[in-house]
Amino acid sequence: MKVTIIGTGYVGLVVGACLADMGHEIMCLDIDKKKIDKLNKGIIPIYEPGLKTVIKRNETDKRISFTTDKEKAIQFAEIIFLAVGTPQRKDNKADLKYIKQAAADIGKYMNDYKVIINKSTVPVGTAELVRKIVKENLKKPIDFDVVSNPEFLREGSAIKDFMNADRIVIGYDSEKAKTYMEKLYKTYVRTFRPIVFVDIKSAEIIKYASNSMLATRISFMNEIARLCEKVGADVKKVAAGMGFDKRIGPRFLQAGIGYGGSCFPKDVRAFIEMARENKVDFKILKAVEEINEEQKKSLLPKIKKLVPNLKGKKIALWGLAFKPKTDDMREAPSLVIIKQLQAEGAKVAAFDPVAKENAKKLLKDVEFIDDQYEVLKDAHCLVLVTEWDEFRNFSYERVKQLMKQPNIVDGRNVYDHEDLEEAGFNYISVGR
């Protein structure tokens, strides 16, 4: 099928690349000329494992192309995905300005029947809004359908997640559009991946409800971690014991420094707002959000336990991105921790395998070092912020020699207490 993806970011680019790999003809449209120029030169503007290989393969086979030409891109396709950003507004609601702009462009340039798919995470009712805007901008009456098809991929494993999705959710209200969607996702039908066909509003809610459930599990475990710290229990062992219960399952039970990223924080807040507008007081999600905000600040007291006076002291961070295997710094807990440390007068140095360039745009007075060990030179404390694989094992001797004091605060519960203490480190983690 001929498919246009509007918005070539973390989601749009992956969706485009993967659909091309399934044999569809893809045109990726973005208003960011720099991004499109890069893509046309073979440079991938984001870090996502495996993405470059998939794009290269499909560019060679002429199944994927990149453009800023709206008219060409919109007229090319039978199916148009909206994968533009829906960032948080000041009032916590999802900002739909990019969706509205893209919908107006579709209406303006549309020449024949198309299925327009909301892939972006959008509040309930947005499919209707898109329908209205497209209609208002049509130059002559043309039939079209709007479908909701939320995306559940995770940055860092996006290709795998998209190709092996647990389920595809499709909200539709037209049999013709349903046929198009079945054809688009034929590969999933063949491999018996569940495709959940629902009404449009339910599909819109499913995305927010799913992210909110995952965020709830994280905040729940972070609150359990606080109790564990008080009573001398170990939250990792508690999670293991809970996770074997099939009704609970082992995933998303890790305590840590709180969730961040481009989705959970904004989606939880937008869901609370959506509920409020509909006169539902989403008490549980308000607590989830509050716990998360506190959790992001919870490392400072631990660091101060080891280094009581931070003024002029060097604190080294391993990891900046909100999670491993991505360069995405949106709402990363590292931003909060660094600001707290700087307010205490500490000198902050950091190493992240890929997030440096994005971090530089958001942080001031941080020394960015390109080496995992070099960053530790003369540090009074090492803080593990993002659990990249390369941080899981390290040379104890080398680290001790480099650091001024052998202090480690582990925000991700990666290390073993006994191991590190035996090696002569002062070690504090979360909920243990």
Binding residues for ligand NAD (CB under 6 A): 6-12, 29-32, 35, 83-86, 98, 101-102, 120-121, 151, 153, 155, 262-263
Q: CB 86 → ligand NAD: shortest distance, Å?
A: 4
Question: Is there a catalytic annotation at residue 28?
Answer: no
CA–CA separation, 161 vs 144, rounded Å? Answer: 29
Which lies closer to ligand NAD via its Cβ, residue 251 or residue 283? 251
Asked if residue 39 lies in contact with residue 66, where contact means CB atoms within 8 angstroms, the answer is yes
Q: How far is the CB of 369 from ligand NAD (least distance, A)?
A: 27
Please pick, among 28, 228, 263, 381, the residue that the annotation labels catalytic: 263
User: Shortest distance, CB of residue 30 to ligand NAD, whole angstroms?
Assistant: 4
| Between 27 and 379, CB nearer to ligand NAD | 27
Residue 180 φ then ψ, to 5°? -60, -45
- DSSP 8-state symbol, 95: P
First to last CA, the chain: 53
By CB neighbour count within 10 A (0-12 exposed, 13-18 middle, 19+ buried), where does 178 fall?
middle
Helix (H) or strand (E) holding 349: strand 347-351
Please say which residue, 200 or 382, places its beta carbon nearer to ligand NAD.
200
CB of 153 to ligand NAD, least distance (A): 5
Residue 232 phi, psi dihedral angles, 5° rounding = 80, 30
Min dist. Cβ of residue 343 to ligand NAD (A): 29
The b-or-e profile of 77-95 (16+ CB within 10 A means b, else e) is bbbbbbbbbbebeeebbbb
- Answer whether 55's CB lies under 8 Å from 48's CB: no
- Classify residue 121 by burial, with Cβ atoms within 10 Å: 0-12, 13-18, 19+: buried
DSSP alpha helices (H): ranges in 81-199?
Answer: 97-109, 126-137, 158-163, 175-184, 186-190
Residue whose CB is nearest to ligand NAD in the complex, by number: 9
d(CA 152, CA 193): 14
Residue 8 vs 295, nearer CB to ligand NAD: 8
Which of residues 25 and 30 has its CB atom nearest to ligand NAD in the complex?
30
Nearest approach, Cβ of 249 to ligand NAD (angstroms)? 21
Is the Cβ of residue 31 or residue 44 nearer to ligand NAD in the bound state?
31
Q: Which residues have a catalytic role annotated?
A: 263
